[in-house]
Chain A
Amino acid sequence: MDPSPQSPPTKKRKMATSTSTSTAAAPAVVQEHQFPLPPILTHPSASPPILITQGAEGRLYKTTFFSPDIPCALKYRPPKPYRHPVLDARLTKARLAFEAKVLERCRREGVPVPAVYAQNAAAGWIAVEWIEGAPVRVKINEWLGQRPKNEEEERSAAGQDHGPLIELMKRIGAAIAGLHRTGVVHGDLTTSNMMLRPHTKKKTTTSEQTNGVSKEEEKAKLLEGDVVIIDFGLANQSQSDEDRATDLYVLERAFASTHPRAENLFEHLLESYKQSFKKGASVLHKLEDVRMRGRKRSMIG
């Protein structure tokens, strides 16, 4: 999932965005992939595409756009073999077109999301800005990994030296508030769908970071950076408290199951959301209802 340790592209060829057919698809590169490349990536390219992850929705490739020094993320939604072809085509096309639309809207409103470079909804791909850094999930787990595991110790440590993590929770809350302000709900908020983009443009590797920096400073730096929300594949346009609250509820539950040991810090995220968003208080009120319904759900065996 972590896109940062990938080796930088070396070959200097241009990624073709035209639909002209080409025989120059690099077979050596294709063989490295577990999956066949989407047609768009079989055109002669500035750099060999790197398969970053196979998410639930599709595959994410790192490639370049237009010029070899503009890295981009190409998201490809292959046909799902399990899904009825009619249903599959309908879903893929609608979701990709909508994803592009929502990203453009967020971008216009200044919400930190990747910029859209190009898309072809019928062919199942969208090319967006490459976000440096690591998913928030990875960063939080790295941070928690340095904590005592024993529950007793954890309890005594709670709230004391989780300072940087609490700060991060607040930044996440503010980012979601910004998103909701534009009338967009994400639909799949998890800590995997947020990147922590380092402040410095310069790309640093882990080994460089440890050089001459004390362990404490390094640890404090771990959670620095801008929160960038990614993967709008399930996004929707909505102004309703209900949908916004559901968005937060999905994240709350994903957070509790992914980072059970930091579950108690989620309130900081909600508090910051409330402060950054005029309608925050009424959304949080609605969240109570959504939670209640959630609990009521476990009924018949």
Chain B
Amino acid sequence: MPDAKGRRIALGCEGSANKLGIGIIAHDPITGEALVLSNVRDTFVSPPGTGFLPKDTARHHRAYFVRVAKKALALSGVSISEIDCICYTKGPGMGGPLTSVAVGARTLALLWGKELVGVNHCVGHIEMGRAITGASNPVVLYVSGGNTQVIAYAEQRYRIFGETLDIAVGNCLDRFARTLEISNDPAPGYNIEQLAKQGGRVLLDLPYAVKGMDCSFSGILGRADDLAAQMKAGEPGPDSKPFTPADLCFSLQETVFAMLVEITERAMAHVGSNQVLIVGGVGCNERLQEMMGAMAAERGGSVYATDERFCIDNGIMIAHAGLLAYETGFRTPLDESTCTQRFRTDEVFVKWRD
């Protein structure tokens, strides 16, 4: 049921990794404008030196689902009757956490008598990025703990032009944070970024692995781990002076971000676009945004990026992308409301774009 102003309203539930997010969005039927009514998130943070395990993360999502949903509902100021549909992340992501949130979404749908919409997590990021920044048809760099993809839209699908051949860039950074035993609060990547600002005396030699529009990070992580071990053993760097964790973080960021900017530039040259949108958790790294901006400026274009509210996994992006699909008539029947760890961006038929 549209609300008093004729708006369509969706509630979105996200929990594909260690963030549980629930958000409520409204679409103006005339202007098509998306209005964020609430966007609540609770993150499962594991101790330094460790990653988040699926079972612990799933338990966190189950434990917090009700209070996050209540808070999102209260902040939005809408009543349950005004909500049109319940959107949830169908995948990709970690099985346990995804399942916890899918169960929560199904419960809300049955409790309130609403229809369900299963959403591809990556498409959620892209659509939210477009809505917030106003970028009309950008090349998208999607960088997070689980994904690294260069995407461009063509003929009703978000097509993947390049991606990682092994681990995601965010995974590389997260795992290196574990090697250095940096805090995971608020996020390992954020703490690497802050530490890197103090480095830069020397650029340590790391592999640079770009293959066409694809890239690879596991070899870089291996080399960075080796260097960290050398540092801890008190061995000097290439200029026979000692180097610090800050130098390591700096060198790692400079290398992997240069690779990301390079593959993005290659995709932009290939499709003839000069807009670039960065989405995903790594997308809030200001050094990456700065490097991407320098590249885009040289091509006579610009970079679009969002802050942590929309870059980092959140419920509002699932609500937004789900509502776009809902408006074209898409529904996920209860008996098909599954989730899946593997769900490629280009599997989604994008009916809402020309």
Contacts and interface: CB of A to CB of B under 8 A. Distances in A.
Do A and B truly interact? Answer: yes
Interface of A: 1, 34, 53-57, 80-84, 86-87, 91, 187-190, 192, 234, 246, 250, 253-254, 256-258, 260-261, 293-301
B62 interface: no
B12 interface: no
19 contacts: A34-B300, A56-B266, A82-B292, A83-B258, A87-B254, A189-B212, A190-B270, A246-B165, A250-B211, A256-B159, A257-B159, A257-B161, A260-B154, A260-B159, A298-B122, A299-B168, A300-B16, A300-B17, A300-B144
Contact of A253 (B152, B161, B290): B161
B203 A250 contact: no
B17 A301 contact: yes
A187 B213 CA distance: 9
Interface in B300-354: 300, 313, 341-345
Contacts of A189: 212
B255 interface: yes
Interface in B177-221: 203, 208, 210-214
Contacts of B154: 257, 260
B269 interface: yes
Nearest to A188: B212
Contact of B262 (A56, A299, A300): A56
Contacts, number: 129
Given A87-B258, A257-B154, A54 B299 contact: yes
A80 B344 contact: no
Contacts of A83: 254, 258, 261, 291
Contact of A296 (B152, B157, B342): B342
A301 B159 contact: no
A253 B266 CA distance: 14
Give the interface centre of A253, A294, A300 by most chain B CB atoms within 10 Å: A300
B51 to A, nearest CB: 11
Contacts of B254: 83-84, 87
- The 9 tightest CB contacts between A and B, nearest first, are A300-B146, A301-B16, A56-B266, A301-B121, A257-B159, A82-B291, A301-B93, A82-B294, A250-B212
A81 B294 contact: yes
Given A81-B294, A260-B159, A301 B144 contact: yes
A259 B258 CA distance: 28
Nearest to B343: A298
A298 B258 contact: no
B268 interface: yes
Nearest to B258: A83
A301 B210 contact: no
Interface in B146-177: 146-147, 152, 154-155, 157, 159-161, 163-165, 168, 171
